[in-house]
């Protein structure tokens, strides 16, 4: 009887041990993540934009005084030198005005000097002399104005250039400021380019303005297909135009006599934004969901973090600085390299060194 009890207890113990040994071990499943690969960066971020040629220092010239045009010797396309007379007004009235003002100056001067003697002799009040002196000074000022107006009958070229348009004809009457001729510089022309808002929004201004002005930018003109011209950066606006909602980039290039770039010619430029004020060469564009803001980071700074997948399928956290926005992408800079695998989904509960499973294309994330 005792043996039966012993063997029964022994069997029960063995069964219990066998049951314990069959219990499954608890295994932590590696999280499933999605990744993108940072693309290879070009040495330059080149984009093509349409351009329009415009004259350098295009100037509308007019007289400062009114009158009838007496001579207009220049013609469209004529080259002129600085100081050369472009047109003249009939000077008759202005010459007579100078003579009239000169006579009044002489008379008022004589009267002032005579009154001065009379005041000294006690035959005239000092106040009368003061009045005559004031009249002399007024006459002198009017005389100087008349001489200045007489000098304005000649319209002269403010710089060496070319006459682009003769607006009026001989014997026409003009008012002050009305355009008579239009001219521009002969040695250089400008190119006007409309930049879209996203380019300026993601741009960073270069601190070295001198370096920008030394850059050569390739220009092609529709009128000279197959030819490439060189232009230099001048400036770009910081405000949108009211109509096109774009920003103006202005370039400058020399005017070639054998292939002249004329006002209004259309073309295009290849703008290397990594070398101009618009710089992207140090940054990558990543999806917005890849960039996280941990609690330990001050929101007032531009610092954020990314998770990078290492070759052994473990992850590491990378600190980055967020720049501009380009659609749904963020411009970031940091310890990043071309070809890095950046986690875009499933990174909320990651820790450094954690093993992960990369979701294959088309597989179920559940």
- Model pLDDT for residues 272-285, shown as the tens digit of each residue: 665 544 444 457 88
Residue with tokens 């400062």: 64
**Is CATH 1.20.1630 correct for 46-55+189-255+268-272?**
no
> What is the tens place of the pLDDT at every residue in 7-30?
555 555 555 555 455 555 556 678
Q: What is the pLDDT of residue 330?
A: 82
**152 neighbors 64 (Cβ within 8 angstroms):** yes
Give the confidence band of 334 by pLDDT, cuts at 50, 70, 90: confident
* % of the chain exceeding 90 in pLDDT: 46
User: What is the pTM assigned to this prediction?
Assistant: 0.54
DSSP summary character for residue 90: -
What pLDDT, on the 0 to 100 scale, is given for residue 197?
A: 64
93: pLDDT strictly greater than 90: yes
Residue 299: pLDDT band (50, 70, 90) is low
pLDDT in tens, 231-273: 988 887 878 777 767 788 889 999 887 888 888 899 998 866 6
Whether 40 has a pLDDT exceeding 80, the answer reads no
Question: Which range is least confidently modeled, 143-147, 277-281, 297-301, 351-355?
Answer: 277-281
* Residue 238 pLDDT: 76
| CB burial string 111-121: b at 16+ within 10 A, e below | ebeebeeebee
Mean pLDDT, rounded, for 191-199: 77
Query: Strand 181-185 to strand 161-166: parallel, antiparallel, or no bridges (unpaired)?
Result: antiparallel
| Highest-confidence segment of 33-47, 98-112, 234-248 | 98-112
In this prediction, residue 165 carries a pLDDT of 93
**Average pLDDT in the 87-103 region?**
96
CA distance 146 to 140: 10
Task: Say what percent of the chain tops pLDDT 70.
Answer: 77
What is the assigned CATH class of domain 32-43+282-358?
mainly beta
Q: In this predicted structure, what is the pLDDT of residue 281?
A: 44
Domain ranges of the chain: 32-43+282-358, 46-55+189-255+268-272, 94-149
Q: HSE of 162 in the Cβ direction (CA atoms, 13 Å)?
A: 16
- Mean predicted confidence (pLDDT) in 114-143: 93
Among the listed residues 305, 283, 309, the one whose alpha carbon sits nearest the alpha carbon of residue 296: 305
Average pLDDT in the chain = 82
CATH number of 94-149: 1.10.287.470
> Which pLDDT tens digit goes with each residue over 149-189?
999 999 999 999 999 899 999 999 999 999 999 999 888 89
Please tell me the distance from the alpha carbon of residue 213 to that of residue 276, in angstroms, as a whole number: 9
pLDDT score at 314: 94
Q: Is the alpha carbon torsion for 116, 122, 124, 125 positive or negative?
A: positive
- b/e burial code for range 44-82 (CB count within 10 A of at least 16 → b): ebeeebebebbbbebbebbbebebebeebebeeebebee
pLDDT greater at residue 324 or residue 76 = 76
């Amino acid at each position: 009887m005792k043996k039966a009890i012993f063997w029964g207890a022994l069997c029960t113990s063995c069964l219990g041990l066998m049951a314990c040994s069959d219990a499954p071990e608890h295994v932590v499943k590696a999280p499933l993540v999605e990744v993108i690969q940072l693309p290879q960066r070009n040495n330059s971020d080149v984009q093509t934009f349409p351009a329009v040629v415009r004259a350098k220092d295009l100037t509308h010239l007019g007289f400062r005084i009114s009158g009838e045009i007496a001579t207009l010797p220049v013609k469209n396309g004529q080259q002129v030198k600085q100081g050369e007379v472009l047109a003249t007004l009939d000077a008759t009235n202005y010459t007579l005005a100078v003579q009239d003002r000169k006579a009044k100056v002489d008379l008022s001067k004589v009267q002032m000097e005579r009154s001065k003697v009379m005041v000294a002799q006690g035959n005239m009040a000092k106040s009368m002399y003061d009045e005559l002196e004031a009249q002399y000074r007024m006459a002198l000022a009017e005389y100087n104005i008349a001489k200045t107006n007489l000098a304005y009958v000649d319209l002269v070229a403010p710089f060496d250039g070319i006459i682009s348009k003769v607006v009026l004809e001989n014997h026409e009457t003009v008012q002050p400021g009305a355009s008579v001729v239009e001219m521009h510089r002969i040695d250089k022309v400008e190119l006007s380019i409309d930049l879209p808002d996203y380019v300026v929004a993601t741009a960073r201004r270069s601190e070295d303005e001198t370096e920008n002005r030394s850059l050569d930018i390739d220009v092609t003109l529709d009128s000279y297909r197959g030819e490439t011209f060189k232009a230099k950066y001048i400036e770009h606006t910081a405000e949108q135009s009211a109509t096109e909602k774009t920003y103006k980039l202005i370039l400058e290039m020399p005017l070639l006599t054998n292939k002249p770039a004329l006002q209004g010619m259309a073309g295009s430029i290849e703008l290397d934004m990594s070398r101009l004020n618009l710089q992207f060469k140090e940054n990558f564009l990543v999806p917005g969901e890849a960039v996280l803001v941990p609690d330990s980071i001050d929101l007032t700074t531009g610092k954020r973090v990314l998770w990078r997948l290492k070759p052994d399928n473990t992850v590491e956290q990378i600190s980055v600085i967020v720049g501009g926005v380009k659609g749904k992408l963020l411009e970031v800079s940091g310890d990043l390299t071309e070809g890095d695998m950046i986690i875009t989904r499933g990174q909320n509960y990651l820790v450094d060194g954690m093993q992960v499973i990369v979701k294959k294309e088309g597989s179920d994330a559940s």
